[in-house]
Structure 1
Amino acid sequence: MKTLKTICLVLFLMGFTSAIAQNPEKKAQKFTDNITKVLNLTAEESKGVYEIQLEKFSTAKKIRKMYADQPEIKKEKLKANGKNTYNKMKNLLGKEKMKAWNAYKKSKRN
């Protein structure tokens, strides 16, 4: 029984780490595809979203690596990266589309 739990834990961790290890380009594209579909974005808006998200995920990856042994600093830097990304997205898409996106995300959580 203990061996089965260990195997399950190892499989879970392997899946979790592979999801985290997904490269920034794939994560940015997945996000862009989703928001483009939900908000019916133009090609220009979609391209802008991809560039913003690529920068966000690339920066986050660097932060996680650089501050791996400093969790408080890492958390602070990741939060600042998120705020920066949000502001860029709001400038690109406008307040109304960001409100619609936030409402969509909130509805998906429930």
Structure 2
Amino acid sequence: MSRRRTGDGEKRSWQLVMTGNLPDPLSPELITDLTRLLDLRPDLACLDLETDAGGVHVARDWSSDKVDEVAALERRIAAAPGVRGLTLHPRKAPPLPCRAA
């Protein structure tokens, strides 16, 4: 099993991570297309890709400081004067569970 983090140099708060039986060589166009797909589909948590080499799990990976920042923002918003609660809703119906990486 291979694990590879990829990036296209564009500024985003996450990085593409792929685990599994990655094809070798891995096409830069494929990386760009997968990254763009996740950019355009924020409702997707992850996806599974079947290749000639086997299955590949593709997801976003946020740095721990971003995860901590989100948690702190949620706590601060929920504790703000006059706020009685905070409920976060996905853009669409929740995606089907992805297999564990």
Give the TM-score normalised by the residue count of structure 1.
0.25
Q: Which has the higher strand share?
A: 2
Give the TM-score normalised by the residue count of structure 2.
0.26
Q: Which has the higher helix share?
A: 1
